[in-house]
Amino acid sequence: MIGTMDAQPDEPMTLPDNDPRAIDLVFAIREGDLDKLWRLLAEHPGLERAHITGRKGGWRTPLHVTTDWPGYFPNGPEVVRILASAGADPNDREPGPTDEAPLHWAASSDDYEVAEALIDAGADVNMQGGSIGTPLANAIGYGCWHVARLLLARGARVEDLWEAAALGDWTRLEERLGANPAPSADDINHAFWQACHGGQLRVAQRLLAQGADPGFSPDYANGQSAAEIAASTDTRHQALVSWLETLNP
């Protein structure tokens, strides 16, 4: 059973990443050592909200550590629940170029269970920022379809044509196609590529009829064509493959 910690000061403490408390905390989170995590939180009030600074600048919270790439750390959902019950803020994020909250990171690795725990703890499913945009935009952009569906179920908004295309959201797709002004040719091409990314055959056919170029490859695709992205492995499967490979060196 998860308990609660004493009330903490308003301002989070700042710890360099080589501080013994930060080192022990990161180790406990990455190893899924729940007993050690509880002990550290009891011994160091406010640790659950700490801003752990890096040698190259910037900071991350313990919840960011829990959701860091590649995700799927042992006992990850329980770690989120412990940190949240102790007072960690799931929406804390460093202002900057990417401005990502922990849910952005969980969405980018398709860690469904951790994402669900963050949402249960109060994470904003429509928070802007991120390397692509909202957590939903991150999930779609990185091929994280399990978290994308979770976010939709928990109230995430489909905002752009390319998101609607990737998800097969026909209502939003037709709204965007019928908007005034109409989507640009570039918008149609991006949406077509993302429809192929999401395995949405009928949506791709609809966008082809709208003039999409099937040979288009967006700048962020590293040269992958629509046909190649349609045949690629999604993020969760790739994580599973990578794990299986460690079992058979």
Q: What is the pLDDT of residue 3?
A: 39
Which amino acid does the sequence have at 9?
P
Residue 12 forms part of a structural domain:
no
Average pLDDT rounded to a whole number, residues 37-65: 94
Q: What is the pLDDT of residue 249?
A: 67
Classify residue 36 by burial, with Cβ atoms within 10 Å: 0-12, 13-18, 19+: middle
Residue 135 forms part of a structural domain:
no
Write the DSSP string, 220-247. GGTT--HHHHHTSPPHHHHHHHHHHHHH
Which amino acid does the sequence have at 208?
L
Contact assessment for residue 53 and residue 15, using Cβ atoms and an 8 Å cutoff: yes
Q: What is the pLDDT of residues 108-146, one digit of tens each?
A: 999 999 999 999 999 999 998 878 899 999 999 999 999
Residue 185 forms part of a structural domain:
yes
- Supply the range of the domain harboring residue 191: 158-249
How far apart CA 96 and CA 158 sit, in angstroms, is 24
Q: What is the pLDDT of residues 163-221, one digit of tens each?
A: 999 999 999 999 999 999 999 999 999 999 999 999 999 999 999 999 999 999 999 89
Classify residue 60 by its DSSP letter. E
Residue 146 forms part of a structural domain:
no
Residue 13 forms part of a structural domain:
no
- The structural domain count of the chain equals 1
Residue 17 forms part of a structural domain:
no
Q: What is the pLDDT of residue 131?
A: 81
| pLDDT interval class at 10 (50, 70, 90) | confident
How far apart CA 67 and CA 102 sit, in angstroms, is 6
Average pLDDT rounded to a whole number, residues 60-69: 95
Q: Is the pTM of this model over 0.85?
A: yes
Angle ∠(208,145,154) on CA atoms, nearest 5: 110
Residue 58 forms part of a structural domain:
no
Residue 34 forms part of a structural domain:
no
The CATH number that applies at residue 192 is 1.25.40.20
